[in-house]
Amino acid sequence: MSVAIHRAGWRFDNSYTRLPEPLFSRERPTAVSDPALVVVNAPLAAELGLDPDLLRDEGAGVFGGNEIPPGAEPIAQAYAGHQFGHFTNLGDGRAILLGEQIAPDGRRADLHLKGAGRTRYSRGGDGRAALGPMLREVVVSEGMHALGIPTTRGLAVATTGEEVLRATPLPGAVLTRVAASHLRVGTFQFARAVGETPVLEALLRHAIARHDPDLASSGEPAVAFLDAVVERQAALVARWMLVGFVHGVMNTDNMAVSGETIDYGPCAFLDAYDPTTVFSSIDQQGRYAYANQPMIAHWNLARLAESLLPLVHADEDAAIEAVRGVLDTFPARFERHYLAGGRAKLGLATAEDGDRDLFAGLLKWMHDHAADFTAMFAGLAARAATHDGDAPAVAAGGGASAAGADAFAAWRTTWRARLSREPGGHAEAVARMRRVNPVVIPRNHRVEEALVAAEAGDMEPFRRLLDAVRDPFAETAANEPYRAGAPAGCGRYRTFCGT
Ligand code: AMP
Ligand code: MG
């Protein structure tokens, strides 16, 4: 390792390695033949106390997995998960946790190499990742971050100089993922399945120390922790719904107790609004469709609750009753976050009883007329600003029918009347809408275009897209090409778990 990279600002602690042995395995990344950096996230590096220039110049060895930075103690984490409803023992089959970087502000962040080679949890897999999906994770997660939605982020992507064999040979890559932690619902399921209460207890203590230190002195830490996770997930999934995000593979191993969005596989944003939208080619039953996400989150949280039962009460019935009391709050909490966000999207700062119906009425119109989700709300802000009366153009082909236009006009009249009761007035309502309704999201056709170019060796479209999604609320000349919906006739977008 070069001497310089030692000085990049690494400051590791490895608290996970102090947990009981069955929760992880000491492993090292498998070296790759020709690591080369294609992405370094300079703003994120700076937040973590790492020198972006040094990383860019000298970091290929570390981010490709050939060199271990000073202070890191690499491991693979064990976890389990319900995948499409079926329980399986898993673990990091192609990822290595380098350790926890302590940022200058004291924040502790996991640095995790995804695609770093086989581990004892790899089962039949090759332990590797392809460049396209790793870049996709970077651009979509940066977009989510810019939208203010809690998420893991990409610090770097290194190509490996090796091919990975999927349906066809693809360029291999390693993503360095930064997360508040990689504690998943499935980590608790694994600890529960181990069958030793001290292991589960140690994991809970660790999770509380990392995410909910205020609960350390709680008389009922397991119930209090569950409550905190339920609240974070209710808020998170509401945020997804309000920007049209479809996670695509909400298995319990892909749900983080930190409340960050994690595991960007077949995820995508809605184009035309349709609640039944499924993008993933492997989600045949539509289990993880857009509209199902709150219900699935609730289901996953029930799996977390079950895992915690031995720590809740020695008597199982009493334990079940205690966690049920918490789980049952999920729908109302989700609804509260969702409605608050829906109000903001419509420009409302105050609450009235009819607001839910007002929001639902617009969504119904959007569904009936295949309106582009993002453009619709961005357009509403513009319309409120100009008092312009037209029904917005819709994705499906340049304008609603006459009946559609009338239906929109009727909705708009109700909305305008409601806006007129806002004490802050019109200008404030417009400003509020512009703060929450993005004009740029990582559009599916743009993401695809950038990844195809990157696979052919041209990173420019990816860089331009990344710049655009990092500034989602401002209409600028530069982001004009990234605001438009999918060109007509592209058909429904499909993602492949393509990993
Ligand atoms: P994911 O679909 O990325 O959430 O992965 C589900 C599980 O499969 C995780 O335990 C991964 O570590 C594992 N996995 C996915 N792809 C591979 C691979 N190419 N080699 C080994 N394990 C993998
Ligand atoms: Mg996963």
**Percent of the chain whose pLDDT exceeds 90:** 90
Q: How far is CA 238 from CA 230, 243, 284, 336, in A?
A: 12, 9, 24, 9
Identify the domain containing residue 63 by its residue range. 3-181
The token duo for 84 is: 């499409």
Determine the average pLDDT of the residues in 396-415: 79
Between helices 330-345 and 355-368, what is the axis angle to 10°?
70
Q: Looking at the structure, do residues 38 and 105 belong to the same domain, yes or no?
A: yes
Of 14, 238, 251, 254, give the one whose Cα is nearest residue 152.
Answer: 254
Cα–Cα distance measured from residue 93 to residue 81, given in angstroms and rounded to the nearest whole number: 13
Neighbouring CB atoms inside 10 A of 286's CB total: 13
What is the pLDDT at residue 395?
38
d(CA 54, CA 56): 5
Q: Among 338, 369, 384, where does a domain finish?
A: 338
Q: How confident is the model at residue 394 (pLDDT cuts 50, 70, 90)?
A: very low
> Residue of the nearest CA to atom 23 in ligand 1?
93
What are the residues whose beta carbon lies below 5 Å from ligand 2 (ion)?
Answer: 254, 263
**pLDDT value at residue 77:** 98
Specify the ligand 1 atom closest to the Cα of 91: 10
- Res 397: pLDDT: 38
The reply to whether ligand 1 has any atom less than 6 angstroms from the CB of 126 is yes
| pLDDT band, residue 399 (cuts 50/70/90) | low
Per-residue pLDDT at 490: 67
Same domain, 283 and 162: no
User: Is any atom of ligand 1 closer than 6 Å to the C-beta of 112?
Assistant: no
Which structure tokens are listed for 214? 């205020």
Say if residue 70 is in the same domain as residue 170: yes
DSSP letter at 234? H
Whether 84 and 229 map to the same domain: the answer is: no
Answer whether residue 469 is part of any domain.
no
- Its sign, for the CA torsion 418, 421, 426, 432, is negative
Confidence of residue 492 (pLDDT cuts 50, 70, 90): confident
Q: 181: which 2 tokens?
A: 């932690």
Beta-carbon count within 10 A of 483 CB: 18
Return the residue matching tokens 């709050």.
329
DSSP E strands in 122-152: the ranges are 129-130
493 close to 444: Cβ distance less than 8 angstroms: yes
CA distance linking residue 155 with residue 52, whole number of Å: 10
Q: Same structural domain for residues 176 and 200?
A: no
Going by alpha carbons, the residue nearest to atom 22 of ligand 1 is 93
Q: How far apart are the first and last CA of the chain?
A: 29
Q: Is 220 left (phi over 0), alpha (psi -120 to 50) or beta?
A: beta
Q: How many whole angstroms from its chain centre is CA 89? A: 23
Residue 80 bridge partners (DSSP): 89
Q: For the chain, give percent helix, strand, coil, nearest 5.
A: 45, 15, 40
Give me the active site residues, please: 253
Nearest to 134 by CA among 142, 126, 122: 142
Domain identity same for 119 and 33: yes
Q: Is residue 77 part of a domain?
A: yes
User: How many whole angstroms separate alpha carbon 180 and alpha carbon 211?
Assistant: 8
Q: Does the CB atom of residue 120 touch ligand 1 within 6 A?
A: no
Residue at a domain's end among 142, 160, 181: 181
Q: What is the pLDDT of residues 270-303, one digit of tens each?
A: 999 999 999 999 999 999 999 999 999 999 999 9
State whether the beta carbon of 69 lies less than 6 angstroms from ligand 1: no
Give the helix ranges, DSSP H, for 149-220: 185-194, 197-211
Residue type, 399: G
Q: What is the pLDDT of residues 29-82, one digit of tens each?
A: 999 999 999 999 999 999 999 999 999 999 999 999 999 999 999 999 999 999
With cut-offs at 50, 70 and 90, classify the pLDDT of residue 387: low
206 shares its domain with 102? no
**Could you tell me if 195 and 295 lie in one domain?**
yes
Task: Give the nearest ligand 1 atom to 251 CA.
Answer: 4
Residue 381: per-residue pLDDT: 82
Alpha-carbon radius of gyration of the chain: 23
The answer as to whether 128 is a domain residue is yes
Residue nearest to atom 13 of ligand 1 (CA): 93
CB neighbours of residue 47 within 10 Å = 17
**Boundary residue ending a domain (308, 338, 368):** 338
Number of domains in the chain: 3
Which whole number is the average pLDDT over 424-428?
90
Beta pairing, strands 169-179 & 75-77: unpaired
218 within a domain of the structure (yes/no): yes
Residue with tokens 């993401």: 447
For the entire predicted model, the pTM comes to: 0.96
How would you classify the pairing of strands 36-40 and 153-165? antiparallel
How many Å lie between the centroid of ligand 2 and the Cα of residue 5?
30
Whether residue 294 sits in one domain with residue 421:
no
Instruction: Flag whether 462 is in a domain.
Output: no
Contact 182, 76 (CB under 8 A): no
Spell 439-464 as b/e; 16+ CB within 10 A means b: bbbbbbebbbebbeebeeeeeebbeb
Structure tokens at 179: 């997360």
- Ligand 1 in contact with 125 (CB < 6 A)? yes
Q: What is the mean pLDDT of the chain?
A: 94
Are 164 and 219 in the same domain? Answer: no
Are 161 and 199 found together in one domain? no
82 and 8 within one domain: yes
Which of 233, 241, 338, 253 lies closest to 292 in space, CA to CA? 241
Mean pLDDT along residues 315-343: 98
